[in-house]
Each structure stands twice: as C-alpha cells, then as structure tokens.
Amino acid sequence: MPRTDLAPAVGAAPAGGDRSPQPVLPHYGEDCLDAVVPALLARHGETPPWVPAPVRGARQVVLLVLDGFGWEYLQASAAGVPTLASGTGGPITSVAPSTTATALTSLATGTPPAAHGVIGYRMALDVPGAPADGREVMNVLRWRSESGDLRRRVPADRFQAIPAFGGRRVPAVTRREFASTGFSAAHLAGSRMVGWSVPSTLVVETRRLLREGESFVYVYYDGLDKVAHEYGLGEHYAEELRTVDRLVADLLDTLVPGSALAVTSDHGQVEVGAAARLPGPELLRGVSMLSGEGRFRWLHVRPGAREDVVAAACELHGEEAWVLAREEIVDAGWFGGPLPPHVEARLGDVALVAHAPVAFLDPADTGETRLLARHGSLTPTEMWVPFVAWSAP
C-alpha cells in the first residue's frame, strides 16, 4: 500500500482545506528499487516475501529493466500482454524523484538517492570553467551542461562513487551507444558493458552470457520510455508494449535449467500532453534558475525572495502540485536519509512536485518541451512499478 506517513508539511490549501492527494513515499530498503539487486544477489539465503518466488535459489538470474513501465499500466493492459501478465510477483516502489537517472542508480548500486547523490535528471553543480558564479545545471543522462560535455570536468567516479552490483563485475547488456556515456560510468561503475543495437541482439547476448555460466545478468531496454515521451500512452505505446511482451517471451526461451528471468522498471508514466507550461511569471520573478524536470521542478530562489516564492507557488500551482521547501523534503525522508552537504547543494530551494497531469517547463531545457508522457513525481502511477519473474521452462 502507498506509504503516506511522510507526507509533505507544506502545500497549497484550497478553500475548504487541503484536498491534494498524498504522495507515495519510497519504501527504501524494503519493497523498493534500491533493494532489488541486493535481494537478487543474496537469493540463495533468506529473501523477503516481496521477492518473486521464481528467483529464490535460482542458479542464474537475468534482470530485465523496462524503462517507463508502471504497475498500473501492466494491470490495465494484461489481456494484451500474456507473457508479462503471467509473471509471478507484484508492485514495488520507485525512488524520489521517479526519474531514470535516479532510479537506475538506486537499482544498480542498491542504495537510496541520499547515499549515491544522483538526485534528479538535471542538477545544479559547481562546474570548473563555468560562468562567474560557477553554477551550471548538468543533464545527467547526457552528462552535459550549457557549456558542453562534462565528462572531463565532472568525472563520473567522483560524482557517484558507489560501485554497481556490490562491486561484482556483472555484465550489463545495454544499448551500445550508452556504453561510453558519463551516466553509464556513474551508475554502472565496475560492471562489464555488453552492447546491443536492436532487440534481437539483446536476446543473443543474454543467451550467450547464460550459456557461459554468468550467475547474474543485467539487461536494460528503453523502448517503452522513448515511445511514451514521443507519442504518449495511446496506440503507439500499446503496440510497443506488445513488442516488449514478445521480447520477454524470447528471453524466457533463452533460459537454461536452474535459471530465472525477473522484470522491473524505473518508473511509470503520466500522460501530460499539452499541459506543460512555464511556472507563473509572478513566481519566476524571485527565481534565478530552474533544475529538476517537469514533474519535479526545483526553483533556485534569489536571496531574500524565498517567502515570496513559496507564497506565489502555492497561490498559482497549489491545486496541481505539492509545494515544498528543500529542507522539508529532506527531513521527510523522500531521498532515503540525510544528504551530505555537497549532495544537498545539487537541489533547489523550493520544489513544485506535480500531482495533477501537468508539467512545469524550464526554458533552458529545450529538449523537454515536447514530451507527451512524463514522470518524476510521487503519484501512484509514477511510483509503483512491477517486480515479476519466471523460472526456466
């Protein structure tokens, strides 16, 4: 069930009282993405009840991560995806924010965002060679800022130092073009990159690794997320999901005796469509910079303007978003614990966390303006993801 004991302390209260929904807080260390890999690596011992039965005691496990596939959508689409619907297991929570950069890092390292520090899609950093104030916003997935490639100026192993998979050299089967990115170096540190170019090569590489005796294989597929962003959650997404269902069936055919396939995701998706806009101008007057993403937007406040920014945010957007100061989010445990000072500095001062199907744009992030489906917030649709599995036939 959604955990609401750490609900926001600040937010707009519409006339008649605060009628906003409660956020789904991550179940860190329990049925949550950060606990999946530790549980799979310890599968020959005692495993918690939320771990699907087929992986318990399996000699070999393939973990397939389907980017952008929420539990609610699996339930709603079960009739059209017979393979996925046949899996044993249930829902677990994503992390905060429910975005790829943060969630995949928690999944691979087995730690909450407070520990690994990758706390969003776009984060404010002190970057060598940046403008006079030294602050830039880094796009974590591209490892870039307005001043260009940051792989040399912001080394991945310093930005995020926790090794993936408990320090084991697990093979990570991912798109070939992702292998050299700063984000891969940050969240898959120490793993062995195995590139694929089209889904059929993903299947071939996974089959080869199982036949070579690998005890744990990590596989990442991003097609659902791409389609959702570009086309929304209509017929294109449904067709891609049927394609994914066939991919899962093909992977099941690769299993060898004593092996198992597990499937999870980093986040769900919310259809936003044209409901993406800049925060109100009255609000932006007190803001020097924006970071985060459309459904978890950080406002970096000018000196002395914080009270005015909070008031304006509540007035303009309180009926469609949770309005929270940074300290409240940290103290409430959204990131899984206290943040080291250098990690807390990556956050803004006030957050707009959408609970309605809207998104708040940043004019400096032109690549985000046309996304039809989005994620990042703590709504049930975005936070609950599947964790299901199958034994070898």
pLDDT digits over 121-133, tens only?
Answer: 999 998 877 665 6
pLDDT band at 365; cut points 50, 70, 90: confident
Residue 60 maps to a domain:
yes
Q: Among candidates 291, 217, 248, which has minimal Cα distance to 37?
A: 217
Q: Do 250 and 284 lie in a common domain?
A: no
Sign of CA dihedral 93, 95, 100, 104: negative
Instruction: Specify if 125 maps to a domain.
Output: yes
Percent of the chain with pLDDT over 70: 94
- Per-residue pLDDT, 15: 32
CA dihedral 340, 341, 343, 346 (to 10 degrees): 160
Average pLDDT over residues 5-28: 60
User: Could you give the count of Cα atoms lying within 13 Å of 160 in the half-sphere of its Cβ?
Assistant: 34
Q: Mark whether 188 and 296 lie in a shared domain.
A: no
Q: How confident is the model at residue 71 (pLDDT cuts 50, 70, 90)?
A: very high
Same domain? For 335 and 253 the reply is no
How many structural domains is the chain composed of? 2
What CATH number should be reported for the domain holding residue 230? 3.40.720.10
Per-residue pLDDT of 248-292, as tens digits, reads: 999 999 999 999 999 999 999 999 999 999 998 889 999 999 999
Whether residue 21 lies inside any domain: the answer is no
Q: Given this model, what pLDDT does residue 18 score?
A: 53
Neighbours of 60 (CB within 10 A): 21
Residues 205 and 345 in one domain: no
Closest CA to 353 of 247, 234, 270: 270
The answer to whether residue 12 scores a pLDDT higher than 50 is no
Q: Within a domain: residue 26? A: no
- 90: CB partners within 8 A, 6+ apart: 50, 71, 386, 387, 388
Q: Where on the phi/psi map is residue 231: left (φ > 0), alpha (ψ -120 to 50), or beta?
A: alpha
Q: Which residue has the higher pLDDT, 19 or 309?
A: 309
Q: Phi then psi for 165, rounded to 5 degrees?
A: 55, 40
Q: Which amino acid is at 166?
A: G
Residue that the structure tokens 């991919």 belong to: 247
How far is C-alpha 307 from the geometric centre of its chain's CA atoms?
30
Q: Are 58 and 391 in contact (CB under 8 A)?
A: yes
Does residue 203 form part of some domain?
yes
What CATH number does residue 354 fall under? 3.30.1360.180
Q: Let me know whether 142 and 41 are in one domain.
A: yes
Helix (H, G, I), strand (E, B) or coil at 203: helix
* Higher pLDDT pick, 34 / 9: 34
Would you say residue 335 has pLDDT above 70? yes
Residues 6+ apart with CB under 8 A from 45: none
**Tokens describing residue 198:** 């089209």
Does any domain span residue 254?
yes
293 and 255 in a common domain: no
- Any bridge partners for residue 123, and if so which? 138
Q: Of 390, 391, 386, 389, give the one whose Cα is nearest residue 67.
A: 386
**Nearby residues of 334 by Cβ (< 8 Å), 6 or more positions away:** 6, 25, 26, 96, 378
Same domain, 304 and 255: no
With a pLDDT cut of 90, the percent of the chain lying above it is 87
CA atoms within 13 A on the CB side of 119: 30
Indicate the burial class of 46 (C-beta count within 10 angstroms; 0-12, 13-18, 19 or more): exposed
| Span 3-13, average pLDDT | 36
Average pLDDT value over all residues in the chain? 92
Which residue shows structure tokens 């989005």?
Answer: 374
Q: Are residues 165 and 224 in the same domain?
A: yes
Same domain, 171 and 212: yes
Closest CA to 154 of 387, 342, 392: 342
Q: Measure Cα distances from 335 to 38, 96, 219 in Å.
A: 18, 6, 25
Sign of the dihedral defined by the CA atoms of residues 265, 267, 272, 278, in that order:
negative
Confirm whether 37 is domain-assigned.
yes
Whether residue 334 is found in the same domain as residue 302: yes
C-alpha span between 301 and 299 (Å, rounded): 6
Q: Both 89 and 189 in a single domain?
A: yes
What confidence category does residue 7 fall into, taking pLDDT thresholds of 50, 70 and 90? very low
**Overall average pLDDT of the 18-42 stretch:** 93
Residue 287 identity (one-letter amino acid): V
Q: Summarize the confidence of residues 165-193 as an average pLDDT.
A: 96
Residues 104 and 185 in one domain: yes
- Examine residue 189 and state whether it is found in any structural domain, yes or no: yes
pTM (predicted TM-score): 0.94
Write out the two tokens for 299: 């406002």
Predicted pLDDT of residue 126: 86
pLDDT number for residue 132: 52
Give the model's pLDDT for residue 130.
66
Residues 6+ apart with CB under 8 A from 157: 185, 186, 189
> Which structural domain range is residue 356 located in?
276-372
What the block records as the tokens of 361 is: 């744009």
